[in-house]
Amino acid sequence: MNFCLPYHFNTPLIVSFFHASLLWAAILILPYNVGAQVNGELMPIEFENSAEYRWLQKEVLDSRLLDDMSEPGNWTLTGTGDLTFQKNSGPDGMNTLRVEMEMFSDQPAPTTRRLSSVNLVRKIPGENWNSFNRISMWIRPDVKGFPMLPLQIVLHNDGEVKVPDAYYREGIHYVTLQNKKWQKVVWEITPTERDKVTSLEFGYWVNKMLAAPDDRISFEMGQIELQRVEPDHYKGWDVAPGKISYSHTGYQVGASKSALASDLSANNFQLIRLDNNALPELVLDAPIETVTTKLGEYQLMDFSEVRKSGTYIIQAGNTRTQPFKIDEDVWRGTIWKTLNFFYGQRCGYKIPGSHDVCHTDWMATQGNKKIVMNGGWHDAGDLSQGMINTGEATYSMFALAEKLQKRKYDPELLERVLDEAKWGLHWILKVRFEGGFRIGFASNNLWTNGIIGDEDDRTREALNNPNVNYIAASAAAIASRVLKHIDPQLAAKSLRIAEDDWQYAINGTAGPETWSTPAYSTTPLELAGIGILASIELYKASGKKKYADKATELGQIIVDSQQKRFVGPEFPLAGFFYTGPDKEDHFYQFHHGNDQAPILAMAKLVSTFPFHENWMDWYAVIALYSEYQKTSSQITEPYGVLPAYVYHESDYIHFPEQAARHQASREGFRDQVLQGLPMGDGYYLRKFPVWFSRRGNYGVLLSQAKALAIAAHTRRNLDAANLAQKQAQWIVGRNPFASSTMYGEGYDWSQIYSVSSGDFVGSLPVGMKSYDITDVPYWPPQNMYVYKEVWTHSTSRWLWLMEELSGPAIVEGRVTPSSAHQVEIEEKATGRTLTIDVDNDGSFRSFIPEGEYLARAHDKQTSFTALTGSRSQLDLRKNHSLDFTLEKETTEKGAVTIKLTATGEGTHTFTLRSDNLDVNQPEKELTLTSNNGSSIEWNAQILSADAPWVAVVIPNGNISLRKEVVGSFIRNE
């Protein structure tokens, strides 16, 4: 049994209470246990931590009976079903109605979509419901042959504002119902216009064209009420009333840690540590800071100084959080849950409690050739499938597995990651035709009967597209490396097919007509990034020079696609991208995100080819992009969530009219751009993308977070790393609604649109959206696609981000044997020290939290930055130790002085590599004596006064010990 703390406490916590009550021992059993699927079982859903559970506990302030099912004349049913009414057959003897679906086994239903479907309507005589804000009803489904029953509820309003809206999103709510159980369903309609309600509509369609003989579906409904309750916060940047916005999962030990509120009456907050076997411990009692940002006034509770792992709550007056973790590997549980989601989405595999082996009559075709294409993972709330999503997810899993292998960390998790990754890999190797023909994306929304040759078969033509082939090559190439010593035969096959797919991609780029084949369109910037990734993965796997040559060649496309100079004098930014080197169109996306592609590509080039002549160009792209993200995120403080994109007011001219698909228009595009932050000269920075019917920003946000985290590791930049952590925190509760949006993670998560397979712990929706044309967050209680639709794209992006954010840092190195038996590591921010034992050969290794450190052994010392999941290698041997710092100074005429101050022993060579600087003598030598600091300086001139500059100093040709400094020329006007 799991217990959870009440959402609010009515009395403040008294310190003496810690030692006076044993109640805590009972209530602090936390839902943090995770592990591999046991006997193929899915992780259980802990309903008591959900928003639905909380909604059912709300006090009803007023109510009105809308329908007690005693008047059949109020209802009409159309479609392939029968409607009956029954007296006293529901809970507490209430009257009910029953809808029995007609099932079709031998031929499809006689409907437009050829599927059995019903539409149940309760007419309303134009009533004003503004005095109520919730609909309550009782429902019981009875299904066999299907995972569950999803019911669509639609409120129709014919008042001043029509509902549903033009996008058919507002006023619609989906509920996923437990089988054979009466359940109370509530839907808060506070965001919905309801001044002239004309009907309530209940819809269902059977997503099987040909049902099995014993399949059945019916549902009963009883007693509908209108109610008034205290509404949930659903729109805006202020924190929900009476709540604290915090990361429900928790915080990395060494990362920044803070929580937010908007209406606390307390002056101080308390951080309280909880243990199952001990009384609560008051760890911190600190003032609540009031901060004013571009978003408004907030109450900030900062507890970054706390470094002890454990379970905690925050208390501020009468307001208290639920328990969360501070831990060196705080995100580990979310990885297990994400893998649980992918397991549940397996296609062609029996998932207990969801579905049997499926889609054996779904085929990929090329001419007369056919391949049964089940396998991989279903894409979303529907049952779609394709190389783009399965390929990217497979790559992210193998990338995480490779990290775990190299770090020799968490073998249990490694085994589970590899198991799921190989499931995706087998589909990549299976569903392909010679010549580069693959299934990039195949839409499907049906369970089929598995018999080839009847009317429910699904086929999809394979197409030749370089983007799809690059993704396949990347996934198979990294798999070949990771599996080389585990499954040599599978590894060899993966490498062979990866090389084929890469060549097909190269051939395909010569025919641009393949670039924009349906559902696979991509920009030159993205294609170059994905191509570099595939090329470098193949270079690492095979050692063949042609892959290195192609990677470095494609690198120039990304370098030339970046905005180097500042734009927007009122809020100057540089470092964002255009769609290609011609710089005609700004790079922006609104649904599917690929923002990681150029930065991941540059980071791969930087690490793989450290002495290439273009190395500094690549490194500068990374530095400029991360500085852009660090600066742009200032407009969303104190959340620090990454804004979407820089737009120009004239961008709408280049925007294609897509009204037929997304209800989009050029005028609507411009209206949204103008809602962003004015930067000057016609530039605007929007917090959310410009979008229309398809909304939800986790594909974009998590792709950007991945890019930022990669940049942080490449630059060893703690500020960027902390900012990347905040993106994950935003998704699991540190947002205005104080709600986790990962299903089954943390607290106050709610059902998301998963109308085919059901609810799986670990799923993420398409993402939070903005309200109407505004640039403010909107997360209403209703469950509706696309923004609340479960999606493998956003969930795999989470897993890919975890490659950068999960696990403690590693510090390792050498001292002169017998000169020191321990290495002392001091954290600069806190003065906290830890000691590491040295082995007989002088080597040492330890896991440490993220942070800035000073390492000492005997009389040798060096400073270093440890980031979550990173490895720091130190050399504290006699005549080898070296430590240095960099300082910068810029004059009004654009002259730059870079000063290096070093300590250590021996003679050292320092090489300065730079971007946007003219340096006369980039290489200098410095002789050091023990414990005496010495300095050298470089004098440089900024080449472009309106662009930032980047300088990297490399000691003794060892690029792993590099340090950097960045700057820009601030003109006096």
Using DSSP, state whether 302 is helix, strand or coil: strand
Is the peptide bond preceding residue 786 cis, with omega within 30 degrees of 0?
Answer: yes
* Nearest CA among 884, 899, 872, 827 for reference residue 716: 872
753 C-beta neighbours (distance < 10 Å), count? 22
Domain ranges of the chain: 15-47+235-327, 59-228, 332-805, 809-876, 882-967
The pLDDT of residue 622: 98
| CB-CB contact of 432 with 460 (8 Å) | no
The pLDDT of residue 931: 66
Alpha carbons 272 and 173: distance in angstroms, whole number: 39
* Nearest CA among 306, 299, 300 for reference residue 252: 306
Q: Does domain 59-228 have CATH number 3.40.800.20?
A: no
Using DSSP, state whether 811 is helix, strand or coil: strand
| DSSP labels, 892-942 | TTSEEEEEEEEEESEEEEEEEEEESEEES--EEEEEEBTTB-EEEEEEEEE
| CB-CB contact of 844 with 444 (8 Å) | no
Instruction: Write out the two tokens for 69.
Output: 């099912």
Instruction: Write out the two tokens for 50.
Output: 């959900």
| CB-CB contact of 824 with 855 (8 Å) | yes
Q: Does domain 15-47+235-327 have CATH number 1.10.3720.10?
A: no
The pLDDT of residue 602: 98
Same CATH fold, 332-805 and 59-228?
no
One-letter amino acid at 968 equals S
Alpha carbons 78 and 882: distance in angstroms, whole number: 80
Q: At what angle do helices 466-482 and 524-542 cross, to 10 degrees?
A: 30
| Cross-strand pairs, 567 | 573
The pLDDT of residue 528: 96
pLDDT profile of the chain (973 residues), mean per 10: 29 31 30 48 96 98 98 97 96 97 96 96 98 98 94 97 93 95 97 98 96 96 98 98 98 96 97 88 97 98 96 97 97 98 96 93 96 94 91 98 93 97 98 94 92 94 93 98 97 98 89 48 90 98 98 98 97 97 94 94 98 98 98 98 97 73 82 97 97 92 98 97 98 98 98 93 97 97 95 96 95 90 92 93 94 91 93 89 93 93 92 97 91 90 96 96 91 37
Alpha carbons 253 and 721: distance in angstroms, whole number: 13
List the CATH code of the domain at 882-967.
Answer: 2.60.40.10
Which of the following CATH numbers is that of domain 809-876: 3.40.50.1010, 3.10.450.40, 2.60.40.3390, 3.30.420.40? 2.60.40.3390
* Nearest CA among 389, 398, 544, 399 for reference residue 467: 389
| CB-CB contact of 107 with 214 (8 Å) | no
Residue 839 CB partners (closer than 8 Å, separation 6+): none
The pLDDT of residue 40: 80
* Nearest CA among 815, 924, 937, 831 for reference residue 885: 937
E-state strands within 586-738: 645-648, 677-680, 683-686
Between CA 36 and CA 46, with CA 42 as vertex, the angle to 5 degrees is 105
- Domain range 332-805, CATH class: mainly alpha
How many angstroms separate the Cα of 338 from the Cα of each of 252, 342, 419, 758, 925? 19, 6, 13, 15, 51
Radius of gyration of the chain (CA): 29
Torsion of CA 156, 161, 165, 169, to 10 degrees: -70
607-613 own/partner pairs: CB under 8 Å, 24+ apart: 607/714, 608/536, 608/539, 608/540, 608/548, 608/551, 609/548, 609/551, 609/552, 610/959, 611/959, 612/552
Between CA 427 and CA 435, with CA 433 as vertex, the angle to 5 degrees is 130
Alpha carbons 487 and 480: distance in angstroms, whole number: 9
Alpha carbons 941 and 916: distance in angstroms, whole number: 8
The pLDDT of residue 661: 54
Beta strands 81-86 and 96-101: pairing type? antiparallel
Instruction: Write out the two tokens for 878.
Output: 């006699």
Beta strands 324-327 and 250-252: pairing type? parallel
